[in-house]
Amino acid sequence: MFCRHEKLFRRHNEQVLPMLDDLYREAGIAVCDTELIGFGAGPGSFTGVRIAASIAQGIGMASGAMVVPLPGSEIVLRSALHTNLWNIDPGNAAPSPADGLRYWLTVVPSRADAFYLAAYEQTEEGALSLLHDDRLYTDAPDWLAALPVSLPELNGLGPRPDWLDETISFASQTENDMNAVAMIERVRQVHASGLSKPAQMALPIYVEGDSPWRKNDAVDVRTT
């Protein structure tokens, strides 16, 4: 397994392709030998997600590889589990529910006071199932109260929105580095299940409310 990992701070368009070139050289394989690609499809940074999709499409189309678009919330959660982020401060961990399951709430900032929220259930064996997929919110959604666990038993990951219930326990460290290694087995599982896609379907995941711009129907444009 070979990995390149770096915080690029808005330099993705300059650095990602050289990093990939180095990775292929280290692994001793050619780009055209690529068989499977997983990438972060969002929702998230508008430009960052499109760069990831574009590179996945380019390599996939050149090599004939299949692709697996990965939701941003799942990358957040699996990366945190991989690095044991929640247990950095053991005293901050929420109690486990009586049924042995753990429930996770992922939070990804968007703009101003808007955040993407998603919820997952984790078995004792570590398997994850999605309870509610990523959506953009500016206040607490009703489905939080309908989860099969009380809010104090939720484990939060990411920055806590001011409008979120204070009884939800969050990891003390809000900076969660995304980790490609944590996603490799998941990408392989999706492919083995027949759910990977052809390269042209390496598309970003957009959700309702992603764009702050709205059409102004009141504007009457006329030419003379």
pLDDT in tens, the chain (224 residues): 898 877 777 777 788 899 999 999 999 999 999 999 999 999 987 888 899 999 999 999 999 999 999 999 999 999 988 887 555 344 444 445 445 679 999 999 888 889 999 999 998 888 899 999 999 999 999 999 999 999 999 999 989 999 999 999 887 665 667 888 899 999 999 999 999 999 999 999 987 666 554 555 554 545 44
In 55-168 the beta strands, taken as DSSP E runs, fall at: 66-71, 102-111, 114-122, 128-137, 154-157
**Domain 12-71+179-201 superfamily per CATH:** ATPase, nucleotide binding domain (3.30.420.40)
List C-alpha distances in Å: 175 to 115, 153, 210: 15, 21, 22
Is residue 196 within 8 A of residue 54, CB to CB? The reply is no
Cα–Cα distance between 60 and 25 in angstroms, integer? 18
Q: Which of 138, 119, 140 is nearest to 128 (CA)?
A: 119
Cα–Cα distance between 169 and 175 in angstroms, integer? 16
pLDDT for res 224: 43
pLDDT for res 46: 80
pLDDT for res 90: 40
The whole-angstrom distance between residue 217's C-alpha and the CA centroid of its chain comes to 34
* Domain layout of the chain by residue ranges: 12-71+179-201, 84-170
The residue type found at 45 is S
Cα–Cα distance between 140 and 173 in angstroms, integer? 22
Cα–Cα distance between 75 and 42 in angstroms, integer? 9
pLDDT for res 113: 85
Cα–Cα distance between 170 and 144 in angstroms, integer? 15
pLDDT for res 178: 81
Cα–Cα distance between 224 and 209 in angstroms, integer? 36
Contacts 24+ apart (CB under 8 A), 150-153: 152/94, 152/95, 153/94, 153/95, 153/96, 153/97, 153/103
